[in-house]
A and B are shown apart, each in its own frame.
Chain A
Amino acid sequence: MIRSEILRDIAPILRDHLVVCNIGLPSQELHMIDDQPTNFYMLGTMGLSSSIGLGLALAQPKTVISIDGDGSVLTNLGTLPTIANNLADNYILLIIDNGSYGSTGDQPTYAGKKTSLTAVAKACGCENVVEVQDKDCGPALQAAIDSKKMTVIVCKCDSGNIKLPVITMDPVVIRHRFMQAVAS
């Protein structure tokens, strides 16, 4: 499976929760598959989906799912110690690890070579780290939500993209709509 197929698979689970979605194709795909006020689409700032999601989870009680990529986590690797040391049991970091920088032309990342983000997350002190294959992402995500324990899911999948339009929604509208959903 490629990332867009996984997002289509887990969309029914995501729609009931606050989602912070990574820059580029992941946000465009989620927007196309199941646009929800509870989705915060990143239009820029590669690497910060996990940080925004953690800040949100620490600030309020609803479950927050950050959808990130292996390339983006590598960009902001310092996020994993911060996540490990600031426990938010309403926080799930879902790393869709296709071993490539999908939005920029599928250049390989180090996560697709020698580096295991699962091992890195564990070494950083994250206590609940689950590595799954693409087809098992949905059950793993639902189990993480039900556990009410901060969880990092590394979902291994194939690289590949679909053609789809950019998000033209104004960023302030995205943010305002999201904040209303958070507060509701």
Chain B
Amino acid sequence: MSISKRIVDDFVANDVSFITTVPCKQLAGVIDEVEARPEIFHIPANKEDEGMGLCAGAFMGGKRPAIIMQNTAIGVTINTLATLTQFYRMPLPMLISYRGELREPVACQVEMAVHTKALLAQLNIPTYHFHWQKDVEEFDNILKYTFMCNKPVAILTDANFWGGYGDQ
């Protein structure tokens, strides 16, 4: 089973039915899988804070939401995470492409990678880092944990987890 299919199976098994995405090369497979599933309403967002607003609305409408985005988005969404998702105590699984980690070919990506975990820690956001493919086995438990505690939770998935960039 592909890693993308496994992840989306876990979303569906946990009744996540509203997913917003802002693309990243590493996330292309999982976004395709989200789009393909009839159980999930997929709504691409133009910016990640917009996506978090959509998720907040969907949650209040009775759906379990999730956002799929790149770690650079942490720089975009700190205010939204603090004053919307956390302030109103809403659950939000954030499946995050962790660019700028091992096997990263683009130097600029490292500049946000070095701040990513520190920013998430400063926000008291529970954070998990998937480096090996077997780490995906935690995903189901992380989703259950997120909807148990009504918090945003970050799942950082690096290039090694996704299988690297081939010859780049």
Contact indicator per residue, chain B 44-87, by CB within 8 Å of chain A (1) or not (0) = 11110111111111111111010000000000000110111001
Check: B165 CB closer than 8 A to any chain A CB: no
- The secondary-structure label for the interface of chain A is helix
Q: Are A47 and B49 in contact, CB atoms less than 8 angstroms apart?
A: yes
* Chain A residue nearest in CB terms to B80: A45
Taking A48-B50, A79-B50, A81-B46 as contacts, is the C-beta distance between A172 and B88 under 8 angstroms? Answer: yes
Q: Chain B nearest CB: distance from A54 CB in Å?
A: 6
Check: B89 CB closer than 8 A to any chain A CB: yes
Q: Are B84 and A44 in contact, CB atoms less than 8 angstroms apart?
A: yes
Please report A residues at the B interface, Cβ cutoff 8 Å.
20, 40, 42-45, 47-60, 64, 76, 78-79, 81-82, 86, 171-172, 174-175, 178-179, 182-183
Q: Are A51 and B62 in contact, CB atoms less than 8 angstroms apart?
A: no
Q: Inside 8 A of B46's CB, which chain A residues have their CB?
A: 78-79, 81-82
Taking A58-B18, A59-B62, A59-B63 as contacts, is the C-beta distance between A52 and B87 under 8 angstroms? Answer: no
Please report B residues at the A interface, Cβ cutoff 8 Å.
18, 41, 43-47, 49-63, 65, 79-80, 82-84, 87-90
CA distance A8 to B83 in the complex (A): 27
Taking A48-B80, A60-B61, A76-B50 as contacts, is the C-beta distance between A55 and B88 under 8 angstroms? Answer: no
CA distance A133 to B62 in the complex (A): 35
Q: Are A45 and B84 in contact, CB atoms less than 8 angstroms apart?
A: yes
Neighbour of B60 across the interface among A76, A82, A178, CB < 8 A: A178
CA distance A135 to B90 in the complex (A): 37
Closest CB pairs A-B (n = 8):
A55-B57, A59-B61, A51-B53, A44-B83, A78-B46, A48-B53, A56-B57, A55-B54
